[in-house]
Structure 1
Amino acid sequence: MAPALAPALALLQQRFVLGIVLLATAGTVVSQEVQAENVTVVEGGTAEISCHLHQYDGSIVVIQNPVRQTLFFNGTRALKDTRFQLVEFTQKVVKIHLSDAKLEDEGGYFCQLYTEDTHHQIATLTVIVPPDNPLVEVKEQAVEGGEIELTCISPRTRPAATLRWYRDRKELKGFTSKQENGKTFSITNSIRFSVDRKDDRDIVTCEASHPALKGQKKQTQYELDVQFSPTANIQPSQSLVREGDELNLKCEVTGNPRPTEIIWTRLNDSLPERAQIQGDVLSFPSLSLQDNGTYSCQVSNKHGRSSDQYVLVVYDPGAIIEAQTQVPYAVIGGILALLVFLVICILIVMVWCSVRQKGSYLTHEASGLDEHGEAREAFLNGGENHKRKEEFFI
């Protein structure tokens, strides 16, 4: 036993004897109580353990850890662990702080009040372990037309974290498994889906949620690496070229892994001596008619090969100017022809409407003449029946 505890234990014995004497003489016992509250702390954080006293009269108060080691004896440190600090000791409350809380600190802390009776309460300390940013592992290299399997891992949490996959803000359903490692859990969530070349460099996100994060999320983004065969596409610096012009042919390449070598050739002939190759560009500083021909660029990677061709036609300056001036006139002629056609259509419609209205007028006019003729005939024959004539005009 530590020498520092000897005076305290002697004081405890004296109070115990004093309690018995008081009980024998007065025949009454003063009821004293102690209360404690459960505490939850995040690993590495600071826990506050409080013992609330009622009707305290100066009796001995002892606080013990889960293995029943005495931490404080009436305000005096008894265990050499500086992470425990006594921050308050009054007639109503005894309060200690535990800094850098660890899983080993978890358990019941005893708040004991020694009087003629021993009163104690247990404050249960729970240590929770939030997840770090989850880890993402890929099972094998993804290739166009195949599948990819991704696994999200949260190796150490308590309680178990929840893992979810997202792509384009849509959740991907995966398979979750949990493994217990002592007091903590290892959580994994695996997904598998088909991939194409358009999926290369897309982002998928693994998200971990946990009560200790208080609504926040821990995320890890993974950029898809989908390998696919290459493509080649020749793009000229200008469409129409004439003798003496400069021309650059660029071989635009895609592929994963990206092809590192581009092979330029000319169909049925060698490349012109003046032509220069600079990576993916074939340059002609000054074109001549001898440069005419079909040029090709070829690329390859471990998934396949591709090529593209470009037919180079070099014009003399006059031909180029003529070809360039014909295009605007053709456009203008087409527009004028369309306008003439529209005008003719409008005139046809106007004539048709005019003829229809005139025919309708003549029809109504003839009908009116017939009515006047009948009235005239009735007037001439009115002598036969005067009454009928009047009724007719009415």
Structure 2
Amino acid sequence: MGRARRFQWPLLLLWAAAAGPGAGQEVQTENVTVAEGGVAEITCRLHQYDGSIVVIQNPARQTLFFNGTRALKDERFQLEEFSPRRVRIRLSDARLEDEGGYFCQLYTEDTHHQIATLTVLVAPENPVVEVREQAVEGGEVELSCLVPRSRPAATLRWYRDRKELKGVSSSQENGKVWSVASTVRFRVDRKDDGGIIICEAQNQALPSGHSKQTQYVLDVQYSPTARIHASQAVVREGDTLVLTCAVTGNPRPNQIRWNRGNESLPERAEAVGETLTLPGLVSADNGTYTCEASNKHGHARALYVLVVYDPGAVVEAQTSVPYAIVGGILALLVFLIICVLVGMVWCSVRQKGEWGGTWTLWLVGCGARKEAGPRARVTRGRSLGAGFQIPLHLGPR
């Protein structure tokens, strides 16, 4: 500050010495906008410059440059150009306190000056997202998003699964910057656990199309579920069976209990956490086995009915399945053959003009024959060896 004052007297003396013919000289400036921390260039354009004194001052009216010579010790300001056409200074690491009007003064008989207004914008930082209280299945969760510092006030938006959520925003001015907050509420289910909620902040200080985002991972607590998986579908005497209790829940149950109905587990059984191992199975191990798990939101129980077969019974059960399949296929083929033969008879009657009479289909293996009579009557089917008889009446009686 003292140095700036020391330049005031020389400034007046030089102005007095240089005062003279200078009519027509002009100075022009342009307003500048810069993001905090960025670089700004302040330009004073000179018209019909005749060598008069040019002074650049900051918003506090401290002289930065006097005819191209540094007057204020602030290395962030650099003189980039001093010519008869323009004076250009460069400000790096722009700060809020740098904002204001910069004076470009041309000292002639009549002092000319113009003001270049520097505006400093503040880009928002990454928003801070917090949850008001723990989310529980079937309830509502409330999230808050805060941007404590921005200029102009940032716009906050919420997104879930790429769809925008409607939030409620508020802002408060703190000096030259704004604090902006937004809240959003929605109902949650267990399937929402681990979902991503995004809070996005934007303002003019950020490049076009850019924003600051914070992702919040939903933590939804819910009651447990349990399901038992067996290491094999059919077990025989002497086999080793491993049962696994697949448990879900938030918080995850930290203890799993294995039981066998109203009886105790076999002495050979080994229960370790989610697995129950039953080695050397015998028929006495038959029964209903259960696994149980719980957390502060509920209790879950899964059942598994164990039936131990002897080797012979298991083989019979396994080999009987293909015969059932083959029998079903054969029955389907017989039905299709009947449908085809009925269609053939119908077409034959239509083509030959024979209408009315009794048609009897004899199916013996893959053979068939027809009988037609002049009278329209129904013939009762009779069994013929391995085949069978289907009476079919066509036309009016």
The TM-score with structure 1 as length reference comes to: 0.86
Match of 2:343 in 1: 349
Match of 1:281 in 2: 275
Residues 18, 53 of structure 2: 8 Å contact kept: no
CA distance in 1, matches of 2:7, 2:161: 70
CA distance in 2, matches of 1:205, 1:14: 61
CA distance in 2, matches of 1:7, 1:271: 98
Matched residue count: 355
Are residue 72 (structure 1) and residue 65 (structure 2) matched? yes
Deviations 1:337-369 (A, max 9, x none): 11111111221222233224333589xxxxxxx
Q: Which amino acid aligns with 2:16?
A: F
Q: Share of identical aligned residues, percent?
A: 68
Match of 1:40 in 2: 33
Deviation at 1:122? 0.3
Match of 2:370 in 1: none
Residues 178, 188 of structure 1: 8 Å contact kept: yes
Match of 1:290 in 2: 284
SS of residue in 2 equivalent to 1:348 = helix
Residues 12, 60 of structure 1: 8 Å contact kept: no
Match of 1:88 in 2: 81
Match of 2:323 in 1: 329
> 1:100 is matched with which residue: 83, 93, 102?
93
Is the radius of gyration larger for structure 1 or structure 2?
Answer: 1
Residues 37, 92 of structure 2: 8 Å contact kept: yes
Match of 1:160 in 2: 153
CA distance in 2, matches of 1:162, 1:15: 50
Match of 1:16 in 2: 16
Residues 180, 186 of structure 1: 8 Å contact kept: yes
Deviations 1:143-200 (A, max 9, x none): 1111001112211110111111111111111111111111111111211111111111
Q: Note closer, same or farther for the CA distance 1:4–1:212 as it changes in structure 2 (3 Å cut).
A: closer
Q: Which amino acid aligns with 1:141?
A: Q
Match of 1:254 in 2: 248
Deviation at 1:11? 6.7
SS of residue in 1 equivalent to 2:316 = helix
Q: Which amino acid aligns with 2:259?
A: T
Match of 1:139 in 2: 132
The TM-score with structure 2 as length reference comes to: 0.85
CA distance in 2, matches of 1:11, 1:199: 71
SS of residue in 1 equivalent to 2:284 = helix
Match of 2:227 in 1: 233
Q: Which amino acid aligns with 2:49?
A: Y
SS of residue in 1 equivalent to 2:24 = coil
CA distance in 2, matches of 1:288, 1:15: 114
> 1:221 is matched with which residue: 215, 222, 226?
215
Q: CA RMSD in A?
A: 2.0
Q: Which amino acid aligns with 1:241?
A: V
Match of 2:334 in 1: 340
Match of 1:379 in 2: none
Q: Note closer, same or farther for the CA distance 1:14–1:249 as it changes in structure 2 (3 Å cut).
A: closer
Residues 8, 73 of structure 1: 8 Å contact kept: no
Q: Note closer, same or farther for the CA distance 1:323–1:277 as it changes in structure 2 (3 Å cut).
A: same
Task: Report the structure, 1 or 2, having the larger helix content.
Answer: 1
SS of residue in 2 equivalent to 1:192 = strand
Unmatched 5+ stretches in structure 2? 357-397
> How do residues 187-206 of structure 1 correspond to structure 2 at under 5 angstroms?
187-206=180-199
> 1:182 is matched with which residue: 175, 185, 191?
175
CA distance in 2, matches of 1:70, 1:318: 106
Are residue 170 (structure 1) and residue 142 (structure 2) matched? no
Match of 1:120 in 2: 113
Q: Which segment drifts farther, 210-219 or 130-139? A: 210-219
Match of 1:377 in 2: none
Residues 5, 78 of structure 1: 8 Å contact kept: no
CA distance in 1, matches of 2:15, 2:197: 69
Deviation at 1:34? 0.8
Unmatched 5+ stretches in structure 1? 23-27, 363-394
Deviation at 1:334? 0.9
Residues 34, 119 of structure 1: 8 Å contact kept: yes
Deviation at 1:77? 1.5
Deviations 1:200-238 (A, max 9, x none): 111121112222222112211111111111111111111
